[in-house]
Structure 1
Amino acid sequence: MARTMKSEAKAAGGPDTPGGPRRTGTRGETAPGPLRRALATHWYAWTMIAPVVIVVAVIIGYPLGRGVWLSLTNADESNVERTIGANTIEATYEFVGLDNYTAILTDTVFWSRLGWTVLWTVACVSITFTIGLTLANMLNRKLRGRALYRVLLILPWGIPAFVSVFAWRLLFNERNGLLNNVLNGGGIDSIAWLGDPTWAKVSVIAVNVWLGVPFMLVATLGALQSIPGELYEAAEMDGAGPWQRFRNITMPGIRAVSSTVILLSTIWTFNMFPVIYLLTRGGPGDSSEILVTYAFRLAFLNSPRDFASSAAWGVLILLLLVAFAVGYRRVLRKQGEVW
């Protein structure tokens, strides 16, 4: 009897046979795929994040796509669409492919700007991280007035960057600045802080470090407070000195946080337009100009304004940062860090 029923099922091409029809729902519908199941299960979450995703895609995606397109054209002030009175002049720029990138990469201007940008970024990030970690270690201990010190050290973070830069510009004033007045009072000649190429670079690094220390301080202080105190007590009982405790407990304990803040600080510093532009405007001459300020100069200060070359510089900056982030991530993975 059972053998007869099984043979009838096979003859009918039922679900028990390899060649039978696909399993269906109660009404004969095909079972939903993984994407449909995820949408059906988490529809509320998708609905909540959809507006944010759309806004971010429009705000970031459209300008990025527009910039990439312009970098492949010869668009400048004379051939883009513009309106004069009631008349609209149509755009006449043309597609030129990779000509802009070839011109940039074969020009010594790009490589000189890139060299200074890398030096500026490495100097700012390394000094900022060192000072921030040092201050975080000091504030992680029990001392009187610790809350006041924390507020004072975080204060530069609460002041708008352009206000801080203008204040520092007054301090660096060659004739009436506070710094030169102090030097003159000690019998030392005034320094052309913003008029000498070397001192201008030192000045912009100092201002950017002053602005970046609070971020490093807050991040590393939070990481330090997450390290169990029992580890330090056990190491001290075993005879480990301060440097050994710092190297074997503190640094491994904050590695996950420090690797992230170093990456973020590198990206921000590489594109730190306000400090350079508001303090020195890339001068004297072009000695303190980084990649992003030069791209701005091409698009808005030069005559005629070269939108295509500026967009190409922007795309190259993006590619450099993406390459750095990918390489940095691979290094962390080799070291066993999850990121």
Structure 2
Amino acid sequence: MATDTSSNSGLRRYAVTFSELFRETWLGYAFVIPATFLLALVVLYPTLRGIIMAFQEVSLLQPNEVMWVGLQNITEMLDTPEFWDAFSNTVVIATAAVSLEYIFGLGLALALKQKLPGITFFRNVSLVTWVMPIIVMTIIFRFIMQPEYGLVNIILSFFNIDTTYWFGDPTWAKPLIVVMHMWRNIPFTAVALMAAMQSIPTSLYEAAELDGAGKLEQFRYITLPNITYVSMIMIVLHTIFTVNDFEIIYLTTGGGPLGSTEVLATYVYKLAFNEYTLGFAASIGLTMLIILLAFTFIYVQLEDIE
């Protein structure tokens, strides 16, 4: 009799546990399924549709007349000089911006790491440019660089230096785009590197100082090796951000003057919505997707290493 009671009690406990597990599992599915459906609707479907469209001839002027053309769009893309101009501009801007962001971000991180009065205030203020909306940033830069009443030209005129139409000058437009990327991203890089520096044990610096190592040697042999992982993450992330950037260029130069700031993102936009060649635009979008997936793969590998 005691055995039956014990057995029934065990079955009841098992039934209760299974019931709770069942409810928790379905509760989890109830929360996940809507988000998954929404993600598939707004991300997965457009991505797959864009990949398919890259191998079709599609025009906004004749949306119902779709023709499968295979690799024709890819071939045409590779034979188009404007594509290579946009590609080279993308590489130049991304390389310059990411490199300078890291160099100046590292310097700012070293400054913010110091224990000085009021340093917390400067750490907080340094992130203002990162959280500022891009539209606000572009308005500020357009106002400062305005050809007639901009602050920069007023200062140059005061010293009798020739002024210019900054965003309308092919010589200056591209460097200004790089500066805008730097202005936005340097603080984020600095804060990330500063956090990595603060995680380094102080005992390493104390031991190095006892061994007679100077500040430069400590930075080279202790600081840099210990922030390598965060440095790589910042470089990869900012490369993805810069290659994928559309707003900064579209809101300032629109890809001009004379195509000097035309990048892949703005080139795709113009092909799709100005020339209505969706298939050709999708083939370039597919190229951008492959490039960004390569950097995303590197990012995931770095996460796995950590």
Question: When the two structures are superposed, what TM-score results if normalisation uses the length of structure 2?
Answer: 0.87
State the identity %. 37
Q: Aligned pair 1:249/2:232, yes or no? A: no
**Which position in structure 1 is the counterpart of 2:119?**
146
**Which position in structure 2 is the counterpart of 1:338?**
305
- 5 Å-filtered alignment, 1:159-174, equals 159-174=132-147
**Which position in structure 1 is the counterpart of 2:191?**
218
Structure 2 unaligned residues grouped into runs of 5+: 1-20
SS of the aligned residue for 2:166 comes to coil
**Which position in structure 2 is the counterpart of 1:320?**
291
Q: Aligned pair 1:300/2:273, yes or no? A: yes
Count of equivalent residues: 285
**Which position in structure 2 is the counterpart of 1:29?**
none
Amino acid at match of 2:111: M
1:306 is displaced (CA, Å) by 1.1
- 5 Å-filtered alignment, 1:1-339, equals 43=25, 48-80=31-63, 91-302=64-275, 305-326=276-297, 338=305
Question: When the two structures are superposed, what TM-score results if normalisation uses the length of structure 1?
Answer: 0.79
Q: Which has the larger radius of gyration?
A: 1
From the superposition, tell whether residues 46 and 257 of structure 1 become closer, same or farther in structure 2 (CA, over 3 Å).
Answer: farther
1:248 is displaced (CA, Å) by 1.2
CA RMSD in angstroms comes to 2.1
The 2-side partners of 1:46 and 1:142 are apart by 49
Deviation readout 1:268-298 (Å, 9 max, x if unpaired): 0011111111011111121111011000011
From the superposition, tell whether residues 264 and 328 of structure 1 become closer, same or farther in structure 2 (CA, over 3 Å).
Answer: closer
The 2-side partners of 1:112 and 1:286 are apart by 8
Amino acid at match of 2:62: N
From the superposition, tell whether residues 222 and 61 of structure 1 become closer, same or farther in structure 2 (CA, over 3 Å).
Answer: same
Amino acid at match of 1:181: I
1:56 is displaced (CA, Å) by 1.9
Deviation readout 1:154-200 (Å, 9 max, x if unpaired): 11122111111111011111111101111111221113311211200
Amino acid at match of 2:227: I
1:65 is displaced (CA, Å) by 0.8
SS of the aligned residue for 2:61 comes to coil
Which protein, 1 or 2, shows the higher relative CO under an 8 Å CA cutoff with sep ≥ 6? 2
The 2-side partners of 1:119 and 1:160 are apart by 24
Structure 1 unaligned residues grouped into runs of 5+: 1-38, 81-90
SS of the aligned residue for 2:66 comes to coil
Amino acid at match of 1:279: T
Deviation readout 1:306-328 (Å, 9 max, x if unpaired): 11111111111111222344467
The 1-side partners of 2:296 and 2:60 are apart by 34
